[in-house]
Amino acid sequence: MLMSTTTEIRHGHLFCGLGGGAKGFNAARPIIGTQRARFRCVGGIDNDRAAIRDFTRAAGVAGTVLDMFDRSQYSDFHGAEPAADWREATPADIHAAFHNERPHIVFLSAPCKGFSGLLSEGKSKTDKYQALNRLTLRGIWLLLEAYKHDPVEMLLFENVPRIATRGRHLLDQIGELLRAYGYAVAETTHDCGELAGLAQSRKRFLLVARHLEKVPPFLYEPAKKQLRAVGDVLGRMLLPGDMRAGPMHRVPSLQWKTWVRLAFVEAGSDWRSLNKLAIEDGHLRDYMIEPAMQAGAFATADPRFEQSSKWTDGQAYGVRRWGDTSGTIGGQQNPGQGAYCIADPRHTGPAKHSNEFRIVPWERSSLAVTSAHGTGQGVADPRQAGEAFAKYAVTAYEEAAGTVISGSTTGQGAFAVADPRSGMQRGKGDNYLTAGHYGVTAWTGPAGAVSAAAGHDNGRWSVADPRIPAAADKVLCRIQALDGTWHRPFTTLELAALQSLVDPEEQLELDGLSDQAWRERIGNAVPPAAATAIAEEMGRTLMLAWSGETFALSSAPIWVRNVAVALSVAGGHA
């Protein structure tokens, strides 16, 4: 009987962020025959203290806060000289950050703002962002120098796809540097969603380097999986705003005009849907938007967004269908910055029945007939009932009543009267005379004493509020769009679930209290599920190399190969 053996594969991370890549690598369990492997993280480096605290929890090992800028890069990026106690990082700092262990694999997810399509071409060429771009090259050099006498077997460098064009000169330098240290290098693009079967399409650039002496076998690409619908993930979560899911599941406050724009964006489309609306003199010609009780400025809310016409690839104000795949979760996720909203068809009212108080349109099918009363059994009937039916008739106080019949279970008959007597104006000592039942306090007047049993019908517990939100006021609201769904932004927790950082049924805790900071770190993270798929393929390659194998037959595309030879074999020569 063959006994299985377990091999440990160590991995470290530069520009590690909150630890999505490290979490995914730790979950990898590659198997070849009777050999198994498990991954262990030896450390991570980032200059963001909050991200390092998140990394430490996710990776199970202490991360290190370290600024890897050289002095000139620091000055160009910050626009000022560093403090007196600042010093440049050295290869010894890399050893210390990895707890003096040598990793077999190092994963770099370097800052990508300088290459992002959200940054203009002109701004990307400024000294600040050029310094940020050069940080990648310096980080790789520090790593190579730290382990030049015992090289790391494999390196992965992940970034946005645009780096292949905007950062071509930088990639050429990185490739030359890696080859000088004995690595075979390949550049490719992949979709993290396809590698992990996520509910988002996340296309990324990947540079993979394999040390030729230590790892003769080729490194193959992981198998691709089918993308899932965004509703498959969000449907497993509590409704947005339900605090049982934690503070990260709260609905973001948006400007009123933003809610209006989202309501008019067609599901599956973006800001260009707004061009279909007819606008006359700054007003919507075919629609009037107003609150439940009063009209006002809402009727003139203009949903047009002229700036969006310049965002040809940003899908500004994009609203995803429930059954579609989400777009890439980026570091910026305001509704105006991409397709970060969802047409949510779920009922957000009482939980007992999803069709309570629903009126079915005349031309549609009825909902299921149930034994319950008053749940979804109404219809918008366009026909005018004749007077003979006296449907729900109300007799005026000064008129004669209709015929009194024995029963009226369907609402037919003259069984109601418009009684002008309130019944509340009674004599001295009556509660309705002194307690102010259904009382409304003036906005400029003081409130009465707040009691423990305060309710709208037992005192002056209502107020005449003259305020209505202006177009730029931030509010939480639910506008039912024309397709009958709620077009709303993703919650922070939903973004994390789409990134596979957390299971949909779980809560997530990240350092700090800022949704904006959380969202940026979530958007910059590598999806753990995608990292697991990559790590398992790399683990199998290492296991082959350590067992003495120099070639493995596979139908999968090769990621990294020696360009000088067609096959890499032991003792082979070009």
What the chain holds in terms of domains, given with CATH numbers, is 5-229+513-560 (3.40.50.150), 231-349+468-498 (no CATH)
CA 145 – CA 143 distance, rounded (Å): 5
pLDDT of 97 strictly over 80: yes
Write phi, then psi, for 488 (nearest 5 degrees).
-140, 160
Could you tell me which residues come within 8 angstroms of residue 261 by beta carbon, excluding any fewer than 6 positions away?
271, 274, 303, 305, 317, 335
Of 8-12, 384-388, 512-516, give the lowest mean pLDDT range: 384-388
Looking at residue 316, what is its pLDDT? 73
Query: Number of C-alpha atoms within 13 angstroms, CB side, residue 50?
Result: 13
Confidence bin at 112 (pLDDT 50/70/90): low
Q: How, if at all, do strands 5-14 and 105-109 pair?
A: parallel
- Please report how the helices 127-146 and 168-180 are oriented relative to each other, as an axis angle in degrees rounded to 10: 10
Looking at residue 309, what is its pLDDT? 47
Contact 263, 489 (CB under 8 A): no
By three-state DSSP, how is residue 539 classified? helix
Q: Which residues pair with 343 in a beta bridge?
A: 487
Dump pLDDT digits (tens) for 461-510.
Answer: 888 877 777 888 888 888 888 888 888 889 999 999 999 999 999 999 99
Q: Which of 117, 520, 497, 129 is nearest to 334 (CA)?
A: 520
Write phi, then psi, for 321 (nearest 5 degrees).
-75, 155
DSSP secondary structure string, 154-211?
Answer: EEEEEE-TTHHHHTHHHHHHHHHHHHHTTEEEEEEEEEHHHHHT-SB--EEEEEEEEE
Dump pLDDT digits (tens) for 217-245.
Answer: 777 778 889 999 999 999 999 999 898 99
Residue given tokens 């010894």 in the structure block: 92
Q: Is the dihedral of CA 233, 500, 37, 543 positive or negative?
A: positive
Tokens linked to 549: 């194998």
Q: How, if at all, do strands 35-46 and 31-32 pair?
A: antiparallel
Answering whether pTM is above 0.75, one says: no
Dump pLDDT digits (tens) for 416-448.
Answer: 788 877 665 566 666 556 667 778 888 888 887
Length of the chain: 574
pLDDT of 62 strictly over 80: yes
